[in-house]
Amino acid sequence: MRMNERVLTSARSDRCPGVSYSDMLAADTRPVPDCLFEETGQELGTAAIDTARYASEEFARAEREHLWPNVWQFAAREEDLPAPGDTVVYEIADKNYLLVRQEDGSIKAFHNVCLHRGRMLRDHGGPAVNLRCPFHGFTWNNDGSLKQVPCPWDFTHLEARDMALPEVRVERWQGFVMVTENRNLPGLRDWIGPGVEHYDRWRLDECHTAAWIGRVMPANWKATAEAFMEAFHAVVTHPQILGFTADANSRYDLYGDHMNRAITPNGALSPHVRGKGPDYVLASLSKFLGGDNKRRFAGNDEQQLDLAASDDPLVARKILAQANRDAFHAADGYDYEHFSDSEVLDNFTYNIFPNFAPWGGMVPNIVYRWRPWRDVDHCLMEVRILMRTPKGSNAPKAPDMFMIGDDAPFTSALHLIGEGLAGVFDQDLANLGAVQKGMKASANGRIELGLYQESRIRHFHATLDKYLSGALPA
């Protein structure tokens, strides 16, 4: 076998005609890790999805009862609370947690509720000398132990009671701080299961939050998340990316119950675009990013000649990959030469059930989180951009989330995420409100999914059903 040839297992034949992602890996200029070649799927049937799952308050109530308390959830990044006494408030559905960095560097998480009259102890994150309720002044130390009771003569009956703040479990993984109320869940890595080991190579714990935006979306959290589980919609919704994104060549993989992924190749034409060459790929990407980036991508004059003369359909992909390696090294001082073209170029959109999507591969890594908000017809969508912290430096404190107004477009945040990405999100936003309204108005109450390209959506709902029926957690 040549360097990147593999015998594929579980490969499917129902794919878009043309160059496959596996073909691209076989042509990679560097050794490719096995986890990118391996394909895995599950037989999940072809049943329709009921629109009530997105539009029913009864269904949302079942999620609040059976789902959210029983899963590991992404509550913060390490750089959100870097110093002892730093706090983060994390809210999900009707739950509210308070994360506090301890003097020894560990992190504790408490139910964010005063044990006196039930007020939230803190309305927002930030540094805290102690945890003092703004209502009457009951105060706890940052480790959760009770510090002070106002008018103690009136509360002598509490002296024999456990008045420490109730804790929730905390684990730290790849720079993410994860919490769960369920004391019986396996540890995070075991709970996620197959696929979690892929991140050991990409080291998101070496990264920091460079930008963080949020927007309330006019759609259920599941409908919004599912818009980012497939590349099938790009040909109609995002036509501007087809010149450099091989949307229909995406690979979809399903792991256990709690992880799935899509890998969408970049630096190659969409199968929907015909009659264009490698120069069109570079020009399309330059236009998307804004400004003239072609020199950065094409490199030196010799590479320019190679681009014009080459009969390699993936030559632009190889040039872009090397340009990224050079740019990443210049930015942070790490050596990217041993990483494959795919790892420095492609979109690795992993989802960790239920509402957390940390991209794999090399920087910049996008991280999505979707949370129920207000009612079943709205959610809070958050986008973080992770960059690798320069070698030998400490990660900077994360910026506060930039909240986009309900009536404002994502381009309000283009100074943080760039014009191209903001434009893509605005195109998704234009669909999602109409999706939510359409599902509520549906005559048959059914959503029909593609067998392969939308398999991650079906996988998500199969796992959700296990939680709502009590089959999970184990």
pLDDT digits (tens, 9 = 90+) for 314-330: 999 999 999 999 999 99
Confidence of residue 18 (pLDDT cuts 50, 70, 90): confident
Task: Name the residue with tokens 């990118």.
Answer: 36
375 and 430 assigned to the same domain:
yes
Does 2 score more than 60 pLDDT? no
- Which amino acid type is present at position 360? G
Q: What pLDDT is stored for residue 313 in this prediction?
A: 85
Sequence-separated (6 or more) residues with CB below 8 Å from residue 163 = 115, 146
Q: Are residues 301 and 341 in the same domain?
A: yes
Tell me, what's the pLDDT at 10? 42
> How far lies 42's CA from each of 13, 22, 149, in Å?
15, 19, 56
193 is a domain residue = no
Q: How many domains does the chain fold into?
A: 2
Band (pLDDT 50/70/90 cuts) for residue 128 is very high
Q: Using CA atoms, how far apart are residues 133 and 115, in angstroms rounded to an integer?
A: 9
Yes or no: say if 267 and 281 are a contact pair by the CB < 8 Å rule.
yes
Residues 176 and 244 in one domain: no
For residues 225 and 177, membership in a common domain is answered with no
69 preceded by a cis bond (ω within 30 of 0): no
Q: Which value, in Å, is the radius of gyration of the alpha carbons in the chain?
A: 24
Per the CB < 8 A criterion, the answer to whether 409 and 417 are in contact is no
Which stretch of DSSP H or E encloses residue 436? Answer: helix 419-441
Is residue 76 included in any domain, yes or no? no
165/228 same-domain check: no
Domain assignment present for residue 347? The answer is yes
Residue 5, pLDDT score: 61
Question: Residue 30's domain is classified under what CATH number?
Answer: 3.90.380.10
Residue type, 387: M
For position 123, which CATH number holds? 2.102.10.10
More confident residue, 289 or 438: 438
- Whole-model pTM? 0.94
| Interstrand relation of 146-148 and 95-101 (parallel, antiparallel or unpaired) | unpaired
13: in domain: no
Say whether both 332 and 415 belong to one domain. Answer: yes
| Domain encompassing residue 130 | 82-181
Taking 90 as the threshold, does the pLDDT of residue 245 lie above it?
A: yes
User: What does the pLDDT average to over 403-425?
Assistant: 97
Q: How far apart are CA 25 and CA 4, in angstroms?
A: 7
Residues 230 and 274 in one domain: yes
Same domain assignment for residues 293 and 350: yes
Which pLDDT does position 17 carry in this prediction?
75
Measured CA distances, 172 to 75, 78, 89, 387 (Å): 10, 8, 17, 18
Q: What is the pLDDT of residues 202-231, one digit of tens each?
A: 999 999 999 999 999 999 999 999 999 999
Grouping H, G, I as helix, E, B as strand and the rest as coil, residue 439 is helix
pLDDT at res. 311: 79
pLDDT range class, residue 289, cuts 50, 70, 90: confident
One-letter amino acid at 393 equals S
Residue 7: per-residue pLDDT: 42
Q: What is the pLDDT of residue 305?
A: 47
- The answer to whether 260 and 253 have CB atoms below 8 angstroms apart is yes
Average the pLDDT over 160-186 and give the result: 97
**Residue 167 maps to a domain:** yes
240 shares a domain with 366: yes
Q: Could you tell me the pLDDT band of residue 251, with boundaries at 50, 70 and 90?
A: very high
Q: Do 175 and 217 lie in a common domain?
A: no
Residues 215 and 297 reside in one and the same domain: yes
- Within a domain: residue 405? yes
The answer to whether position 90 is within a domain reads yes
pLDDT of residue 192 exceeding 90, the answer is yes
Pair 280, 337 in one domain: yes
% of the chain residues with pLDDT over 90: 88
Contacts of residue 12, defined as CB under 8 A and 6 or more positions apart, other chains included, come to 39, 41, 452
DSSP letter assigned to residue 368:
E
Does some domain include residue 373?
Answer: yes
